[in-house]
Amino acid sequence: MRFVHIHLGAIAAAALTLAAVAPDALAGTATNLKCEGCVGTRDIGKGQVKARNLHKSAKPAAIAASVKTGFVVDATDTTQVVRKVTITAPGPGAVTATANAVVDHAEGGVFCKIDTAITPIVQADEELCFGYRSDSSSLFSSVSGQTVFVVSAGKLDVYFLCRRVSSANTPRLFNATLTALFVANAQVVKKVSADAAVAGK
């Protein structure tokens, strides 16, 4: 027969040790851990977290604007640059651009659009063009429009472009503004309809 020798003293000592440490070590929360690069409420409260410390997908919004008061440009048959801005997107997202101007129509009118390149304005391009036409020689009115572009990180040029409707007269543009606003992570742009705004989320 084989005999197994059980050391009761050793077992008792081990049981006493586990009983002493188990409630705190096994069921408690560690408080002596060291975290490299962690951000706590004290860091935020003291202003230690800056925009440059954030991931590119969490960068804050950016904005660019161009304003010209008084006379700006005469609208001719050639597409004219009314205003231009350059905005730097810190990461992927969308840029919403808004433009407006006051127009002296002089028995005619203007077609305008917002684009990322200087391209001719086509009257049939309903999705891009906005404008106003008048038969009065002394009418002032405002034209405005808004467009959304999906962008990646980097610089983007945005143009406010206009041309006249009829070559018989030369409308004049005054007090023109162009504003571009970057919205982070707005990579999905839903097209509602040809003549409605587009929404990003």
Q: Does a structural domain hold residue 11? A: no
Q: Does a structural domain hold residue 30? A: no
Of residues 57 and 114, more confidently modeled: 114
- Which band of pLDDT confidence, cut at 50, 70 and 90, is reported for residue 32? low
In whole angstroms, what is the distance from residue 4 CA to residue 170 CA? 111
Q: What's the CATH number where 126 sits?
A: 2.60.120.40
pLDDT at 142: 84
Q: Does a structural domain hold residue 32? A: no
Full residue range of the structural domain in which residue 115 is found: 56-200
Number of domains in the chain: 1
The per-residue pLDDT for range 125-152, each reduced to its tens digit, is: 655 677 766 666 667 788 889 999 999 8
> Which of the residue ranges 6-10, 60-64, 66-70, 104-108 has the most confident prediction, judged by mean pLDDT?
66-70
pLDDT at 166: 76
**Which DSSP helix (H) or strand (E) runs through 98?**
strand 93-104
Region 28-56 average pLDDT: 61
Q: Does a structural domain hold residue 64? A: yes
Q: Give the DSSP letter of residue 46.
A: T
38, pLDDT greater than 70: no
179, pLDDT greater than 90: yes
Q: Does a structural domain hold residue 194? A: yes
Residue 7 main-chain phi, psi, to 5 deg = -90, 95
Q: How many CB atoms within 10 Å of residue 105?
A: 24
Region 44-69 average pLDDT: 70
Please answer whether residues 173 and 142 qualify as being in contact, where contact means their C-beta atoms are separated by less than 8 angstroms.
Answer: no
pLDDT at 10: 52
pLDDT at 85: 96
Region 162-166 average pLDDT: 85
Please choose, from the candidates 158, 139, 136, 1, the residue with its C-alpha nearest in 3D space to the C-alpha of residue 87: 158
Please answer whether residues 86 and 52 qualify as being in contact, where contact means their C-beta atoms are separated by less than 8 angstroms.
Answer: no
Encoding tokens for residue 44?
Answer: 């935020």
In whole angstroms, what is the distance from residue 182 CA to residue 88 CA? 8
Q: Does a structural domain hold residue 67? A: yes
Whole-number Cα distances in Å, 67 to 64, 106, 138, 150: 10, 23, 25, 24
In whole angstroms, what is the distance from residue 64 CA to residue 187 CA? 20
Of residues 25 and 180, more confidently modeled: 180
Please answer whether residues 182 and 89 qualify as being in contact, where contact means their C-beta atoms are separated by less than 8 angstroms.
Answer: yes
The per-residue pLDDT for range 81-127, each reduced to its tens digit, is: 999 999 999 888 899 999 999 988 766 788 899 999 999 987 666 55
